[in-house]
Structure 1
Amino acid sequence: MRLARLARGLSPEAAAARTPVRLGGGRWRHIEQGYTRRVPFTPTAAPAKTLAHMANVVGVRPEQLDDAGRGDAAEILREIKRQEAAEQPGPGPADPRVQMALDILTDLPPRVREEVLRRLSPEDRKRIDEG
């Protein structure tokens, strides 16, 4: 976890702030180290939900959590990834002119829009492609 966080250039505080769970930089450090700094040092482990959200922030894959013996957190991370993928909008046009053309077509009455699309012959499409 620490290596992945460092690779992203994040401090424990910045990484903790990106998680949707309540977590501070100090607790993040304790989880990375595996113990708290109280005397005597006390072993600590993150709950599965916390670990899954931490992993998501720093780009740790579910398989890595499985390999570390944290299949419980890996399953939660897989679900986080599924939900994030479902929330992603489809790819939009990169060129703003394409979006303008789509907006114009969308604003046309359905019959007119169908007529415009029907009239785009292969020759028209080629002429458009050639600029």
Structure 2
Amino acid sequence: MEIKFSGSRWRQIEKAYRRDSDSQVIAPAATLAHMAWTLGISSDRLAETGRADATEILRELERSKAPAAEPAPEAAPLAALEEWQQKVILNVLDERPRSAKEKALLLRTLAAQIEAESAGQGDPDKPPMQTVQNIPGRSAS
């Protein structure tokens, strides 16, 4: 849930006072939680203010918007190649202009081929890495 409000509303909440009506301003719980989130204030710190309603919303924001944990790195098949082989692959990538998406696709395809060959699933009648020519963005030589 995203909350949008103007800068003047933000200032009213900060000052706890609304000048045009001479009235006290108390931020709604969701608004206060989003303000705290924007400022990087933790839910523990917000809890010190006594606003349990806003604290619970901020805790939920922290849980839902926390960056996802990165999967544990597995053995990188391209890292298993010798240095000269890695250089050949990088040179092929730089042979002609490619988008980052094309380069990523090429590397994923090569990695899949290396994994298949190392697991003995490659075609025994084909020499290793023969299918590189069929990778999108790679012209046959």
Shared fold (TM-score, shorter chain, > 0.5): yes
Instruction: State the match for 1:44 in structure 2.
Output: 25
Q: Identity, % of aligned pairs? A: 36
Letter in 1 for 2:47: D
Aligned partners of 1:26, 1:34: CA distance in 2, in Å? Answer: 12
Query: What is the CA-CA distance between 1:110 and the residue it aligns to?
Result: 5.7
Aligned partners of 1:45, 1:92: CA distance in 2, in Å? Answer: 45
1:71–1:45 CA distance, 2 compared to 1 (3 A): same
Higher helix share: 1
Instruction: State the match for 2:17 in structure 1.
Output: 35
Computing the radius of gyration from Cα coordinates, the structure with the larger value is 2
101, 105, 119: which one aligns with 1:114: 119
Q: Secondary structure at the match of 1:20?
A: coil
1:113–1:77 CA distance, 2 compared to 1 (3 A): farther
TM-score, with structure 1 as normaliser: 0.56
Letter in 2 for 1:90: E
Aligned partners of 1:113, 1:51: CA distance in 2, in Å? Answer: 56
CA deviation digits over 1:43-102, x for unaligned, max 9?
0111111111111001111112111111111111111111112x5362799xxx979696
Instruction: State the match for 1:54 in structure 2.
Output: 35
- Whether the 8 Å contact between 1:35 and 1:42 is mirrored in structure 2 is yes
Query: What is the CA-CA distance between 1:111 and the residue it aligns to?
Result: 3.0
Instruction: State the match for 2:45 in structure 1.
Output: 64
Q: Give ranges in structure 1 of 5+ residues lacking alignment.
A: 1-18, 116-131
Aligned partners of 2:14, 2:107: CA distance in 1, in Å? Answer: 49
1:63–1:88 CA distance, 2 compared to 1 (3 A): same
The structure with higher relative contact order (CA 8 Å, sep 6+) is 1
TM-score, with structure 2 as normaliser: 0.53
Aligned partners of 1:91, 1:26: CA distance in 2, in Å? Answer: 43
Letter in 2 for 1:105: A
Give the alignment of 1:1-131 within 5 angstroms: 20-39=2-21, 41-85=22-66, 88=68, 90=70, 103=108, 104-106=110-112, 108=113, 111-115=116-120
